[in-house]
Amino acid sequence: MSFAGAQSTRVFSRESVDQFVLHRKLLILVSQAALLVFSYYCAFLLRFDFTLDGSVRSFFWKTLGVVLILKLVFFSVFGLLRGWWQYVGMSDLLDISKASIASSAILIAIVQLGTWPSGYPRSVLLLDLALTILFTGGARCAVRAYTDSVQHYAAQKNTLIVGAGAAGSVIVRELQRNPRLDYKPVVFLDDNRAKKGLKIHGVKVLGTTDSLSTMIERHSVACVIIAIPSATGEQIQRIVGKCRECKVDFKILPTLSDRLDRPSLIHQLRSVRVEDLLGRKPVHLDVEAIKEKLHGNVVLVTGAAGSIGSELVRQLAQFAPREVILYDRCENDLFKLGMELAARMPELNFVPVVGDILDVGLLREVFSLHRPHFVFHAAAYKHVPMMERNCFQAISNNVFGTYNVALVSRQYGVEQFVLISSDKAVNPTNIMGTTKRVAELIILGLQKAHTRFCAVRFGNVLGSNGSVLPIFEQQIAKGGPITVTHPDARRFFMTIPEASQLVLQASAMGRGGEIFVLDMGEPMKITDLATNLIRLSGLEPGREIEIAFTGLRPGEKLFEELSFEQEGIKPTAHDKIRVFDGGEVRFDQVQSWLNALSAAVDAKNVHQLIQTLQTMVPEYTPSEEIRALCQVDRHDVCLVYRQQRFDLSVTTDTAREEAA
C-alpha cells in the first residue's frame, strides 16, 4: 500500500469513528427526549384516569416544549446525555434523581408565579417527577441487565466465590462486566449463615464452606475464588484442601495491604501461596506518627539491596522522605533496586552508594555529605551454618560493621538509629545469633547521646534471600527431594512486607534504649511448610516429591525464642509489637569488649574469640563445630575481611570534634 493510500485509510477510519460518536450522541438525545415526553404524557393519563379531553390535551401540548427543554438542559448538566448505559450504576440513578428534582422544582416555581396556563393541574408535575425517574432510570437498568445476561453466559468456567462480602461482590461485578476473563460466577458460599439465600448481583449464597465439595459437584465448578482477605491460614488451608480433593483450580484475593494502589481486584487474583497459609492478619500502621518522623527528612538504609532493606525502602517511599540513601556493597542488586525505584516510584529521591559498612572513611564521607536524620541498619551476614565456618568474617561484619555505622551516626547527629536484629540473638547457639546480641549491646552502650538507638527483633522472613522458601521451590522444580533438617524443627515466620512495616512502626515508637520484639504468631514446623508448598504446587508429598531429613546444621536449634525470660517484655500501643528496656550498658565496657574481640580476630584465635563472646553474652552456648575449631590452627584456614575500622580508644567527643 502506498503512503497516500495508508494516509487516506487512516483519515477514513478517523472520520468513521467521529461519525459513529456523533450518531451515538444523537441516538441518546432522541431516546432520552422520547422517554421524557412519554413520562410527561403518562403523568397526565394517571392524573385524569386515562381520559384526556380537549382542554387537558391543550395543557399537555402548550407546556410540553418548556418541560422537555428544561429537563434536557438539566440532564445535560448532570452528564446524562452521554456515557454507556450498560455500565449504569447507583451514581447514575442518583444523577437522574437530582436532574429530575431540579427541573421539577423550577416548573413548580413557574406555576406558582402564575406564568403557566390558567387551571393547569399541579399534581401532574409531581407524577411526572416520579415517572421521569422510573422511566429514564429503568431504561438504563434494562440495557445493563440485558448486557449482563449476554456477557454472563459468554463465559465458560463455572466459578464459585468463597466470601459473600464486599470483596466477593466486587469480584462478581468485575467478572460479569469482563466476559473475556472466562469466569462465570454461579454460586456464593459464606460461613455467615445469615447470608444464606441472599442474592448478590444475581448470584445466590447457597451455604457455608462446609458444603464446598457438594457445590463444586452440583454446579460443575471449574474454579474457586477465595475472596476473604481476612481469612486465617487454617481457613485457607481447609478450602484449598477441598479444592484439591475435587481437582478444581483455585485463586485467592490478597490482603488489603497487598492491594493498595491497585484498583482492579480481578487482576490481583493469584494462586494461593504458602504465606497465605500463615494466616497473618493485615498490619495496621499509625501512618501519621510514621509520617511525622520521616516526611521531608533524609533516611539512610544499610543493606538496602537485601530482602529486608529493599522492602524497607519501598515502604519508606510512601512517607515522602526528602532523600533516601541506599548503602550496599552488592553492586548488581543495588543497580536492580535503583531501576525498580526509578520505574515504580519516580517521585522518590534516592542515592545509591556502593560501599561496605567496614569502610569507615566512606561512611564518614556519606554522612557528612547527606546528613541523614534516620538510619535503618539492615546490613548483616545471616546464614547460620556458613557463619559457623566463617566466624571471623561474621564478627568483622556484624559486630564491627554495626559499631562503625552506629558510632558515625552518633558523631553526625543522626536523630534515630534502628538496628534490625534477630530472634537468634536470644540464648544463641551460633555465631550469627551471638553477633546480633553483641550488636544490641553496642547500641545500648552508645545510648546516652543525642541519637536515639533502638533494635527490632524478629524471626524468619518468608521469601528473603537464602530463606527456606525459595530453596524449597527450587528443589520442587527439580523434582525433589525437599531437604528438611529435622522433623520437629520449628521456626517463627512472617512476610517481608509485614516485617518492614512493623520495623517502621516500632521506629516511630522508639524513645531510645528499647528492644522491640515483633509478634511472630505461633512457630511453624518446617516439615508442615514443605508439605504445604508441595501441595500448592499441585503435587503429592511423599509420593511425587519426597521430604528428606538431613539433620540439624552447625549452630542450629530445634526451636527459636524471641526474648529472654528475665527481660520483662511489655505490650505497646500496637498489638503486634512488644518492647523491653535493653538495660544499662556502659560505653567503656563496650570498648573493652570490642578491643578484646579485635585482638582475637587479628590473631585468628578461635578459642580467644569464643571466650570473649561468652564474656559479653553469658547465655551463648558454642556449637560442637566451633568447639572443634578451637582445637586447630585457623591461621591458614580463615581469611579475615580486613578493612579500616575505628580506633576503639578514640572517644566519641574527640571523634565529634574531628567530624566538625
User: Per CATH, which fold does 153-272 belong to?
Assistant: Rossmann fold (3.40.50)
Residue labelled with grid coordinates 500448592: 536
Asked if the domains at 153-272 and 287-460+494-520+561-629 fall in one CATH topology, the answer is: yes
**pTM of the full structure:** 0.62
Q: H or E stretch including 452?
A: strand 452-458
Nearest partner of 622 among 603, 607, 601, 636, judged by Cα: 607
Answer yes or no: is pLDDT of 271 > 70: no
User: Per CATH, which fold does 287-460+494-520+561-629 belong to?
Assistant: Rossmann fold (3.40.50)
**pLDDT 10s digits, 187-233:** 999 888 888 888 888 788 898 888 999 999 899 888 888 888 777 77
The per-residue pLDDT for 364 is 95
SS3 content of the chain, % helix, strand, coil (to 5): 55, 15, 35
Answer yes or no: is pLDDT of 366 > 90: yes
pLDDT tier at 655 (50, 70, 90 boundaries)? very low
Domains in the chain: boundaries: 21-149, 153-272, 287-460+494-520+561-629
563-572: average pLDDT: 62
Q: Are 189 and 215 in contact (CB under 8 A)?
A: yes
Q: Are 383 and 468 in contact (CB under 8 A)?
A: no
Range list of β-strands (E), 478-628: 482-484, 490-491, 493-495, 514-518, 524-525, 547-549, 570-571, 577-581
Phi-psi region of 457 (alpha: psi -120 to 50; beta: other; left: phi over 0): beta
- The percent of residues above 70 in pLDDT, for the chain, comes to 78
Q: Are 420 and 613 in contact (CB under 8 A)?
A: no
**pLDDT 10s digits, 35-72:** 889 998 898 888 888 888 888 888 888 888 888 898 88
The set of cell numbers assigned to 386 is 556458613
CA–CA distance, 351 with 232 (Å, rounded to integer):
40
CA–CA distance, 76 with 92 (Å, rounded to integer):
13
Evaluated on CA atoms 473, 478, 480, 481, the torsion sign reads negative
173-194: average pLDDT: 81
Q: Are 552 and 614 in contact (CB under 8 A)?
A: no
